[in-house]
Amino acid sequence: MDWSQQMLAIKLQLAGWDVTRSTVAKIEARVIWVGDFQLFYFTRIFRVTLEDLFPIIDQHDPKIHDTITKLMEIRM
């Protein structure tokens, strides 16, 4: 999808989330945290499942700690 931040903000607003373009930019830059309940707005707008929003993590992988640590570093 080739949407601007403003367009995404409008689509999220129409879905019921009072969000601004600035907030969308901060989410994109991983500056602010997105609550679990807010993820449902993204699933609706992008027409994906909740699972599609998360990376696949193999719970039997001995390096799971490293994978989760890398994900947390990206978040910060």
In tens, the pLDDT along 15-50 reads 999 999 999 999 999 899 899 999 999 999 999 999
Burial pattern 7-41, b for ≥16 Cβ within 10 A else e, equals ebbebbeeeebebeeebbeebeeeeeeeeeeeeeb
Q: Is the pLDDT of residue 59 over 90?
A: no
pTM: 0.72
